[in-house]
Amino acid sequence: MGRVTTFRTITCVLAVCILAINLCNFYIPFYGTATLLDTHYYGDDGLLVVNHNGPHPIFELIEQAEEAWARKLDRASQSLGEAVAEYKRRYHRNPPLHFEKWWDYVMEHDVQLPDEYDDIYRDLEPFWGIDPLDLQKTREELEAKHEIVTVEKTDKSPRIEVVNHRLPPDSEERLTRIIQNILILLEDVEHSLPPFRAVFSPHDGPNMLSDYGVKSMALAAAANGSTLKRSELPMAQRSGWLSACHPSSPARQHPLDLDNPPERPLRKTFIYDHRLSMDPCLHPSLLHGHGEFLKYNGGPNPESTLVPCFSLCSTLLHHNIRSAGPYGWIEDILPRSDDPPWEEKIDERLVWRGSNTGISHRVDTRWRDAHRDRLVSYVNDMAGTLDILRSPLNDSESVGGPTPLRKARVNPALFDIQFAGQPGGCLPELCDSLLDIFDWRRPQSISQAGRYKYAFDIDGNGWSGRFKRLITSNSLVLKTTIYPEWFMDRIAPWVHYVPVQLDLSDLHDTLIFFRGGVGGEGAHEDMAQKIATAGREWSKKFWRQEDLTAYMFRLLLEYARVSSPDRDGMTYNEDPNGGPVHATEDSKSVMQE
């Protein structure tokens, strides 16, 4: 009997142990280490789809972004030879004429990341597929249109000069000055530029809508080293904004009803690729949520060819050539009282003050859906609830599903976002209505804005001109935009700023992750401070006047070549005997990443 009892006791103990092990295996995915949590889904549209059984996605978004930024810094070319080899590896051709002079400027002025100018390639590559003489004819036709400024550099003068403009008399001086301020950036290097003639649009937004068939055919010709005449291009579509999209894109396959805004997404998402998140072909809801698109309803007809027009900004549907300008540029924010360090900022709300720009406010426009009007309405709404993700203390815990929270408690605690000044861009009757609809405030001084730990950046009529000031301010900047800017290859979302979707569906979740809930629960202020500090350091090191000059210097070298009838003669060659420049097998890089 004693042995039987002992055997049964041992059997029971083993059974309990096995049960305990099974229970541990069951619960560890939910409460165990981060390595056993489920993974999130990364879509082809630049958005991460949250898996509720995974860690809070911002943990890994920050970690991955920091690692990618470190790799980018590490692989930067250190010599002209490396830069030439890397250029050839990325773009499959030699650099432009006087590339060595550009490199000398970069070295002399300590310009960082000398290889990261892929946006210039993206803007100009389609023009490589068009016959240069046809490009010249298109540019001449553009010069005859209104609202343009033409600049020229000849071989008889070291200066770039404004040689023509067609502007309204009441805004001629203001609009011309915008282009002249860009040219001032080139005063130290313009003698090194070859001859060229270029047309600039001085307005805030882009104006050259692409046709997908035309642009893709030009890109294919460029890839083959051939060119097309305008007469060989396909007939442009007349489908408005959708004309710029691939036939199999979400926007073409599932076009939205322009009279009815899209429903808010059911699943939580965050941006992991900021550029892809700006593409209306991948995200047709953007056409319903930004004044750039709303003011044209279904969109204008696209251009029948590729038009070489420089502009201050562009969208992924347009083919304007983006310039880098000094608008809104500051060297620093002084004195300290205007820009206290993070730990001395006392207000933990997200701040924004601005005008109601972005769309004309008339009875026949959809201004309520425009980005700024929608932002102010959304964060000041007190009715109902919001589904918000909790903020776990570390990445060992699952984020779980969203929790409904009352807007009346959450929004006042998280946001200080209002229009400032007086309504503009509206008829008197509607202006009076806007005064009643929104709680208008006085504009904030830099000192008043400097008290906030979190600052919001959003587009106006075009790209936001205040981002430079905000990212220099020791505050964490949350940014939503549809315009890829000149520095996108040279900055890292989640390292230097925090990207937010245009529909604002991730705004509450993102802000609560960093500053915590209404009572500060789940805050990750150390991570917020790290990004705010990195953003300021980036601004001081990567967005100087010299960096603007380096960008425009290289852009115009590239443009001078692609617009020249003698493209071969406008190409850099480091071999004095005329031999080709070859990329090395192990040259570093990025276009595939």
pLDDT tens digits, 397-437: 999 999 999 999 999 999 999 999 999 999 899 999 999 99
Of the two residues 12 and 448, the one the predictor is more confident about is 448
Predicted pLDDT of residue 25: 41
Distances in Å between the Cα of 397 and the Cα atoms of 52, 59, 61, 233 are: 10, 11, 16, 56
Predicted pLDDT of residue 577: 52
- Read off the tokens for 34: 């981060």
Domains in the chain, please, with CATH?
Answer: 342-545 (3.40.50)
Q: Say which residues have a Cβ less than 8 Å from residue 66's Cβ, sequence separation at least 6.
A: 492, 494, 495
Q: Which of 331, 249, 234, 309 has the alpha carbon at shortest distance from 284?
A: 249
Q: Say which residues have a Cβ less than 8 Å from residue 186's Cβ, sequence separation at least 6.
A: 160, 193, 549, 552, 553, 556
> Does position 11 have pLDDT exceeding 60, yes or no?
no
Average pLDDT over residues 211-216: 98
Lowest model confidence (mean pLDDT) among 136-140, 150-154, 165-169: 165-169
Distances in Å between the Cα of 433 and the Cα atoms of 114, 367, 440, 442 are: 51, 13, 12, 18
Q: Which of 317, 326, 221 has the alpha carbon at shortest distance from 278?
A: 317
Q: Which of 473, 517, 491 has the alpha carbon at shortest distance from 340?
A: 473
Average pLDDT over residues 125-145: 97
> Does position 581 have pLDDT exceeding 60, yes or no?
no
Q: Measured between alpha carbons, how far is 532 from 538 in angstroms, rounded to an integer?
A: 10
- Read off the tokens for 118: 């892929």
> Does position 112 have pLDDT exceeding 70, yes or no?
yes
Mean pLDDT of the chain: 91
Average pLDDT over residues 521-545: 97
pLDDT above 70: percentage of residues in the chain: 90
Predicted pLDDT of residue 587: 36
Residue 5: pLDDT band with limits 50, 70, 90: very low
Average pLDDT over residues 385-390: 96
**Coil vs helix vs strand at 199:** strand
Residue 589: pLDDT band with limits 50, 70, 90: very low
Label residues 526-558 b or e (16+ Cβ within 10 Å = b): ebbbbbbebbbebbeebbbebbbbbbbbbbbbb
Predicted pLDDT of residue 582: 40
> Does position 321 have pLDDT exceeding 70, yes or no?
yes
Of the two residues 292 and 15, the one the predictor is more confident about is 292
- Convert the pLDDT of each residue in 360-386 to its tens digit: 999 999 999 999 999 999 999 999 999
Predicted pLDDT of residue 501: 98
> Does position 32 have pLDDT exceeding 80, yes or no?
no
C-beta pairs of 371-375 under 8 Å, 24+ apart in sequence: 371/289, 371/290, 371/291, 371/458, 371/459, 371/480, 371/502, 372/291, 372/419, 372/458, 372/459, 372/460, 374/289, 374/504, 375/417, 375/456, 375/458, 375/504
Judging by DSSP bridges, how do beta strands 403-406 and 321-322 pair with one another? Answer: unpaired
pTM of the entire structure? 0.90
Predicted pLDDT of residue 263: 73
Lowest model confidence (mean pLDDT) among 294-298, 443-447, 587-591: 587-591
- Convert the pLDDT of each residue in 453-506 to its tens digit: 999 999 999 999 999 999 999 999 999 999 999 999 999 999 999 999 999 999
> Does position 396 have pLDDT exceeding 50, yes or no?
yes
